[in-house]
Amino acid sequence: MALDDTPRLNSLGFPKPPAETRVVVAMSGGVDSSVVAAELAAEGYDVVGVTLQLYDHGAALAKKGACCAGVDIHDARRVAETMGFPHYVLDYENVFREAVIDEFADSYLAGATPVPCIRCNERVKFKDLLETARDLEADCMATGHYIRRQAGAAGPELHVAADPARDQSYFLFSTTPEQLDFLRFPLGGLATKAETRALAARHGLAVADKPDSQDICFVPNGNYASVIEKLRPGAAEPGEIVHADGRMLGTHTGLIHYTIGQRRGLGIGGLDEPLYVVKLDVDTRRVIVGPKEMLSTRTVPVREVNWLGDGAFADAAEYPVSVKVRSTRPPREAILRPLSATEAEVELLTPEEGVSPGQACVFYETGGTRVLGGGWIWRGR
């Protein structure tokens, strides 16, 4: 019997030794990406660490707990020194401002609730940084995201993380098949975040106990309005708070202080019924409020669809799927109906509350773990 001389695949899926496999690791300075870099270096891979400086370095130094701030660049560099691989800091401030921050501000001014972390992955990390990795002659790029990349019959597939509490698939729905071919997510199969921290401690990394970042990196303390006012002076124009039935209930200091579904902080106490923000009328600068049932939505229009399922998206009349309309909510069963190659209508089998333009609607395989893509929620026709 002839011996099988097929080259064995290494842990990143290449038919060659780790030492001959170059991998660029996107390092934010946090524990997740640091562990990815350390683990791959320990396995013998040709690791190159890259950290992006995304916004003003001086301002960043004053804000801990957000990715790509000055202290985080320092932490990433220390990990590289500890593990003995090269590390580079790339200035992406202009790219980040144009591709992410400006749209974030403009979307809020248009009454939407944007998700800049998705745009950052789509337009900066998995676009420009990925091209940089190719320029460095890397075989692949690895990140610290909690999501799984698995081989499928038609190529690599995206699947939710083994730990549902850490799953980041909502923020990665716009990853294209071409990008997925080049990307690797070594942490997706870990059962808990505690395992990641234990690996960091095993490698002697100073970031082993570093807290997770909670805020959007360029929004200190979650204060979106102050950032938008700084970016767009005069954005916080006052207006009226109006009940859906037409009653004038009060005034506000700017639409940017409100989001769909908000109940607290409306400043219209003394009413018999609990009221929620049900609409932001940009043209009249009105905050429309109403009872909770007005937040229920069954039909969700989506555009800029990125399809990761099998076949061309518009080939089928409809798909039975599960969808997430917010990152913090569990998937709900729905029917996905393509309108074109990039637009669709999602019919929720159970109504959802607080579906907001600017958020993502992410598609999942019903009863499975595969991510089928997603799109951006908008107001529709």
Terminal alpha carbon distance of the chain: 66
Question: Cβ–Cβ contacts within 10 Å for residue 269, how many?
Answer: 6
Sign of CA pseudo-dihedral 300, 362, 290, 252: negative
Cβ–Cβ < 8 Å for 375, 304? yes
Cβ–Cβ < 8 Å for 371, 308? yes
Q: Is 120 a catalytic residue?
A: yes
- Exactly one of 67, 117, 120, 361 is catalytic; name it: 120
- Exactly one of 67, 117, 140, 217 is catalytic; name it: 217
Q: Is 217 a catalytic residue?
A: yes
E strand spans, 255-356: 276-281, 286-290, 296-307, 319-324, 332-338, 344-353
Q: Which residues of 107-122 are buried (b: 16+ CB within 10 A; e: fewer)?
A: bbbebbbbbbbbbbbb
Distance CA 297, CA 380 (A): 13
Distance CA 344, CA 7 (A): 44
Amino acid at 324: K
Q: Which residues of 314-325 are buried (b: 16+ CB within 10 A; e: fewer)?
A: eeeeebebbbbb
Cβ–Cβ < 8 Å for 289, 275? yes
Burial of 178 (0-12, 13-18, 19+ CB in 10 A): exposed
Q: Give the catalytic positions in this structure.
A: 120, 217
